Amino acid sequence: MINLRIDDTPVQARPGQTILTAACEAGIRIPTLCHVEALTPVGACRLCLVEIRNWNGRLVPACATPAQEGLDVVAHSDKLTALRRTILELLFAERNHICAFCVSNGHCELQDLATELGMDHVTFPYRFPSLPVDASHPKFGLDHNRCVLCGRCVRACSEVEGACTWGFSGRGVETRVEADLGDPWGASRTCTACGKCVQACPVGALFEKGKATAEQVKRPEILAEVTERRPRA
Amino acid sequence: MPKVRLASVWFSGCSGCHMSFLDLDERLLELATKVELVYSPIVDIKEYPDDVDVLLVEGAIGNTEQRHLLEEMRKKTKLVVAFGDCAVTGNIPSLRNPIPREELLRAVYGEGDIPGLEEGDVPKMLPQAVPIHTVVKVDRFIPGCPPSADRIWTFLQALLAGKRPELTGADLRFG
């Protein structure tokens, strides 16, 4: 076993476990957004940033950093809360996240994080970009206005379903998830219509057609169930 | 103890936050013993008075008149509160923001003279509907679409008890 400290609590981890998993098993909650059990961690959203005291206070993503002997991890501090709030505010400012008018209102990980981190308003100017909605698929829709680019759909599609339909195009603020090589989702020849991407999506970007405001409930835990990491619910 | 001078205003929003305020129901009676409502869409006072203690602002800022009024109100008010998601984030009125102003007005009203395109009898529409803290300094934020009556009451109770009202936990929820 590996011995480390998280928030001054001694914690044990098995070799190969990440700081996030070790914290989770010790009952220490670290906020996450791009992480979901059963998918390869990518450290994309940076909300799980923790500070390593004995690495000169370096900030690392807990989801993608292996637990190591003797690490002295700070998971909660005023500084980390401020950093996480800044990240969250930037996510809200980047696209059109209008909770009141979203299929995922009330069942959204981004909305929940705002509550958890005490975000009462966004201090950055909103960009209000003009973004399309792809409703070409017979069963599902993709609303780029809601997307946070966590890549959970991309990973669920390649790592669990094996279809590799989803990918990223563009760079920086112009990044978009897209089916195949930019085809409308409905025209995709690789999509199996399994819906794992929809269940993996933490926000209202991917949704089932026919769901109105606040009706879309997701079950990202199906990814752990179908890969037999967890018993089926 | 002198009564708290409370005001409220309705800008670009649906009035749902004011409806939710009225949902305080019997708590309004207790409120009435402690506050004087000096300006609001639900009272018949035309001019915004001086020396207001607390102003609840519903709605985003969508035209020049609203922006001017808010700036004037700020000068006469101790505590300005963004009341509901439209005031806090822009919310539903901000759905128009990705569309250029003239294109939007032409799509709705057609060719020719369009009220709101330029300053006139109808105030000029701003290029985007914006949250109120981008126009004036805002002291407190009450998110929610609308904020529930219980959330509003939590806020007002702290205020009336002379404490610094601070919403936390589940009371800080958008949508």
pLDDT in tens, chain A (233 residues): 999 999 999 999 999 999 999 999 999 999 999 999 999 999 999 999 999 999 999 999 999 999 999 999 999 999 999 999 999 999 999 999 999 999 999 999 999 999 999 999 999 999 999 999 999 999 999 999 999 999 999 999 999 999 999 999 999 999 999 999 999 999 999 999 999 999 999 999 999 999 999 999 999 999 999 998 888 87
Predicted local distance difference test score (pLDDT) of residue A194 = 98
Q: In chain A, what residues touch B88 (CB-CB under 8 Å)?
A: 120-121
Residue of A137, A116, A108, A62 whose CA lies nearest to A214: A108
Distance, in Å, from the CA atom of B141 to the CA atom of B133, rounded to the nearest integer, reads 9
Q: In chain A, what residues touch B99 (CB-CB under 8 Å)?
A: 130
Total domains in chain B come to: 1
CB contact under 8 A, A111 and B95: no
Sign of CA dihedral A144, A64, A126, B92: positive
Residue of B174, B66, B175, B63 whose CA lies nearest to B128: B63
Q: How far apart are the first and last CA of chain B?
A: 37
Quick check: helix, strand or coil at residue B58?
strand
Predicted local distance difference test score (pLDDT) of residue B1 = 73
Range of the domain at B41: 4-171
CATH second-level architecture of A2-76?
A: Roll (3.10)
Strand partners, A178: A167
Cα torsion for A108, A114, A115, A121, to the nearest 10°? -130
Strand partners, A2: A13
Instruction: Classify strands B140-142 and B77-83 as parallel, antiparallel or unpaired.
Output: parallel
Predicted local distance difference test score (pLDDT) of residue B164 = 85
Substitution target in A91, A110, A128 with the highest count of B β-carbons within 10 Å is A128
CB contact under 8 A, A98 and B170: no
Predicted local distance difference test score (pLDDT) of residue B165 = 87
* Beta strand residue intervals within chain B, DSSP E: 4-10, 35-39, 52-58, 61-63, 77-83, 125-130, 140-142
CATH of range A100-226; options 3.40.50.300, 3.40.50.150, 3.20.20.140, 3.30.70.20: 3.30.70.20
Predicted local distance difference test score (pLDDT) of residue A233 = 74
Q: Are A199 and A223 in contact (CB under 8 A)?
A: yes
Predicted local distance difference test score (pLDDT) of residue B175 = 94
Tokens of B147: 């904020």
Q: Per-domain residue ranges for chain A?
A: 2-76, 100-226
Phi, psi of B16 (to 5 degrees): -60, -35
Nearest by CB to residue A98, choosing from B82, B94, B128, is B94
Tokens of A61: 């993503």
For the entire predicted model, the pTM comes to: 0.96
CB contact under 8 A, A114 and B138: no
CB contact under 8 A, B174 and A96: no
Nearest by CB to residue B98, choosing from A108, A122, A130, is A130
In chain A, count H helices and then E strands: 6, 10
Distance, in Å, from the CA atom of A19 to the CA atom of A25, rounded to the nearest integer, reads 10
| Parts of chain B with a pLDDT under 50 | none
Tokens of A191: 């999509």
CB contact under 8 A, A96 and B94: yes
Q: Are B89 and B130 in contact (CB under 8 A)?
A: no
pLDDT in tens, B65-106: 999 999 999 999 999 999 999 999 999 999 999 999 999 999
- Tell me the nearest-neighbour CA distance from A71 into chain B, angstroms: 31
Residue of A113, A40, A117 whose CA lies nearest to A80: A117
Distance, in Å, from the CA atom of A232 to the CA atom of A225, rounded to the nearest integer, reads 5
CATH number of the CATH domain containing B93 = 3.40.50.700
Sign of CA dihedral A183, A188, A190, A196: positive
Predicted local distance difference test score (pLDDT) of residue A231 = 83
pLDDT in tens, A77-116: 999 999 999 999 999 999 999 999 999 999 999 999 999 9
